[in-house]
Amino acid sequence: MRYTTTTTTTTTTTIILIISFQISFNLSFGQQWIQLESLPESFNETHHSFAFSLENLGYIVSGSSNLGVHDDFYQYDPIADNWIELDPFPGSARGYAIGDIWNGKAYFGFGYDGNTYLNDLWVFDSTNMNWLELASCPCDPRAHPALIAHNNKVYVGMGNGIDGNMNDWWVYDIASNSWSQKDNLPSEPRHHPYQFGIGNYVYAGFGHGNGIFNNWFRFDTLNETWDEVASLPAEGRVAGTQFSYNGIGYVLSGDGEDHNSMETGEFWAYDPNLNGWEELPAHPGSSRWAPSSFVIEGEVYLINGTSFNQYVSEIYKFDLNSSFSIGDPTSLNIIVYPNPVSEIINIKGLENQEFKSNIYNLNGVLIESYLNKSTINVENLPNGFYFLEIIDSLKNKKVVKKLMKAN
């Protein structure tokens, strides 16, 4: 390892929905985060590290701590729940760097080495455990920008450097090892935004500039144009962690709009098809500034960071499939409509048998229960997300539909 010294809105409700069917359903949200083995003591108090997963193994590299900036590199085995130290990252030790994975490789760079802002880019190949330096960005060097590896490109923008916050936007072509500049983010300059890629779009927003933001944008990778999409229906935030999984984007933790820890470790999911946000179970404790995360087999791991200016070394994981696993609703012979619903929910397919329906809020609190009712009036429920649980007693089958109540 090597150390160097550091110097250190109001939104409109959007009508959205997510539908999911399953055989079993767990409403015990508070039990879904599981604590795991922390990193070794020499590296368990860091912030602004980059964590990623390849071939069902986790990795974490670089970061800042009270000792300075790091070039440490560790690998995590989820089966053994342990960490091993690897050869150090061959580039400059750094904090405030950023990375992402694409097509079985990890792309990583930028940041601050304790004296200088950086604009380099590296790729890690786990098949040979090798780091390779790529073409540096012709942009201004910067710390904590957005970086999304997606659709054979690496998209980089925003961040802060010697001249302050930025809103420029650059694209690295993996095949040609070359960079090109695109239209700026159509909003205020900022650093440490959140970001991820899904489909033909990359998404970026929030972050800290002249204020702390909750606005959200997408960049069309085909037409190379920007659009503003649904803002987060919560306070602005900065310096959390993010990822995408199975076509849904997630933002996790970070500082709130006062640039201090939030009371809970907020966790939000963004559905790009519906252009809407849903709040998920918060991680234990208060929110963390500059943690890291990776996903292995549908479980997200939350690693390190600080909370109320204290380092947090506890690592937790959350099963993204634990609340609902997607199946084929036609195989269950049950139809629930409409969704979103304003007044009446219709249930079809259980006309000749007994069944029970339960409506829960997103915290798992039972709101109403119904017996053998094929139409349910929800006109008096406040607008928001709910779970509709249908229990078929004859077949001992349970179906859960997540729906949106909206006028």
If asked whether residues 367 and 285 sit together in one domain, one would say no
Quick: pLDDT tens for 80-94. 999 999 999 999 999
194-222 average pLDDT score:
97
Nearest alpha carbon to residue 239 among 284, 192, 273:
192
Could you tell me which residues are beta bridge partners of residue 114? Answer: none
To which residue do tokens 């990193």 refer?
A: 39
pLDDT at residue 337, rounded to an integer:
85
Residue ending a domain, among 257, 287, 319, is 319
* DSSP designation for 37: P
Has residue 26 been placed in a domain?
Answer: no
Residues in Cβ contact with 283 at an 8 Å cutoff, skipping those fewer than 6 apart: 33, 252, 253, 265, 267, 302, 316, 318
Task: State the CB neighbour count (10 A cutoff) for residue 285.
Answer: 17
pLDDT band per the 50, 70, 90 thresholds, residue 27: very low
The CATH number of residue 401's host domain is 2.60.40.3080
Confirm whether 1 is domain-assigned. no
Going by pLDDT thresholds of 50, 70 and 90, the confidence category of residue 176 is very high
Of 75, 88, 49, 63, nearest in space to 6 by CA: 63
**What's the whole-number mean pLDDT along residues 333-338?**
82
Alpha-carbon gap, residue 220 to 254, rounded angstroms: 26
Task: Report, as an integer, the average pLDDT of 336-349.
Answer: 87
Q: Which residues contact 10 (CB under 8 A, 6 or more apart)?
A: none
- Region 1-30: what's the mean pLDDT? 36
pLDDT at 16: 31
Domain boundary among the residues 292, 319, 346 is at 319
CA distance 88 to 298: 28
Residues 383 and 293 in one domain: no
Q: How many CA atoms lie within 13 A of 406 on its CB side?
A: 12
Q: What is the pLDDT of residues 232-265, one digit of tens each?
A: 999 999 999 999 998 889 999 999 999 999 999 9
List the structure tokens of 124: 């890690």
Residue type, 128: N
Higher pLDDT, 126 or 277: 126
- Model pLDDT for residues 66-84, shown as the tens digit of each residue: 999 999 999 999 999 999 9
Residue with tokens 């076509």: 247
103-148 residue pLDDT tens: 999 999 999 999 999 999 999 999 999 999 999 999 999 999 999 9
Residues 225 and 374 in one domain: no
Residue 276 buriedness (CB in 10 A; 0-12 / 13-18 / 19+): buried
The confidence score (pLDDT) of residue 360 equals 86
What distance separates the 2 farthest-apart alpha carbons in the chain?
73
pLDDT at 20 over 60: no
Of the listed ranges 208-222, 309-323, 371-385, 391-405, the least confidently predicted one is 391-405
pLDDT tens track for 6-15: 333 333 222 2
Span 269-282, average pLDDT:
87
Measured CA to CA, the distance from residue 170 to residue 43 in angstroms comes to: 32
CATH number for position 172: 2.120.10.80
**Is residue 128 domain-shared with residue 229, that is, in the same domain?**
yes
User: Is there a domain that residue 333 lies in?
Assistant: yes
For the chain, what is the radius of gyration of the CA atoms?
A: 22
Q: Is residue 10 part of a domain?
A: no
Give the range of the structural domain holding residue 74, as residue numbers without chain letter: 32-319
Select from 267, 289, 319 the last residue of a domain: 319
What number of other Cβ atoms are within 10 A of residue 270's Cβ?
Answer: 26
The rounded distance, in Å, linking the Cα atoms of 231 and 82 is: 38
Let me know if residue 19 belongs to a domain.
Answer: no
Residue 141 in domain: yes
pTM of this structure: 0.78
Spatial separation of the C-alpha atoms in residues 183 and 92, rounded to whole Å:
30
Percent of the chain with pLDDT strictly greater than 70: 86
Kindly write down the DSSP assignment for every residue of 221-272, as one continuous string.
TTTTEEEEEPPPSS---BS-EEEEETTEEEEE--B-TTSSB-SSEEEEEEET
Question: Which tens digits make up the pLDDT trace of 31-52?
Answer: 489 999 999 999 999 999 999 9
Residues 393, 372 share a domain: yes
One domain for residues 193 and 73: yes
Tens of pLDDT, residue by residue over 392-403, are 766 556 666 667
In a domain, 11, yes or no: no
Work out how many domains the chain is built from and give that number.
Answer: 2
Mean pLDDT, the chain, whole residue set:
88
Question: Is residue 203 in some structural domain?
Answer: yes
The answer, yes or no, to whether residue 191 has pLDDT greater than 90, is: yes
Q: Which amino acid is at 93?
A: A
